[in-house]
Amino acid sequence: MAIKYAILGLLSWQPFTGYDLKKVFMDSTVFYWSGNNNQIYRTLVQLHNEGLVTNEIHYQKSLPAKKVYSITGEGTKALQAWVSANPEPPELRNKFLIQLAWADQLSNEEINTLLERYEEELKLRLLMHKEKERRGRAAPRRTPREEYLWNMISENISAKFESELNWVGQLKHDLSNWKD
């Protein structure tokens, strides 16, 4: 994910501090970014230097001042250009498949254990995704169409986990009946 455009998108919804952006990323299943805080702040500085965002310092009683970032007109144009660019196909890299490619070295019991651990991890992630959705996500709902799009993004994430779980179930079933 291009963090630059994720930040611009969030700022097109509402102004945020760097800390608030970090919380949105951490709590979101849509923004599957795994960077660090420094990357958010570096990107905000870069966006500011490019004139795509502005910041305003808000002073608080007995708390440190905070910088609140907002998107500029140029930032909105850059975001719209990125959104309308050709989409990339989904990332199909899955480290587990590389493990599985060499799993013939394992006993039947070891392969089954490996598949069960993977299955449990998938179930946990699906459960976490659904729980985050249940609690309500940080998502704009400015129009019914925007709300629908965000709901469909969530459904896409759930469907991927469910599809992978079905695939693992089929694999476990087939291997349990395997005859050499």
Question: What is the residue whose two structure tokens read 């254990």?
Answer: 113
Out of 36-45, 66-75, 117-126, least confident range: 36-45
For tokens 């590389």, name the residue: 98
Residue 168 has pLDDT above 80, yes or no: yes
Q: What is the pLDDT of residue 125?
A: 92
Contacts of 4 (CB under 8 A, 6+ apart): 43, 46, 47
pLDDT of residue 38: 86
Predicted local confidence at residue 29, as pLDDT: 73
How confident is the model over 102-136, as pLDDT tens digits? 999 999 999 999 999 999 999 999 998 888 888 77
> Which residue did the predictor score with more confidence, 133 or 171?
171
- CA 7 to chain CA centroid, Å, is 13
Q: Where are the beta strands (DSSP E) in the chain?
A: 53-60, 63-71
**Which are the contacts of 147, defined by CB distance < 8 A and separation ≥ 6?**
139, 141
pLDDT band for position 89 (cuts 50, 70, 90)? confident
Count of Cβ atoms closer than 10 Å to residue 146 Cβ: 13
Q: Share the mean pLDDT of the chain.
A: 90
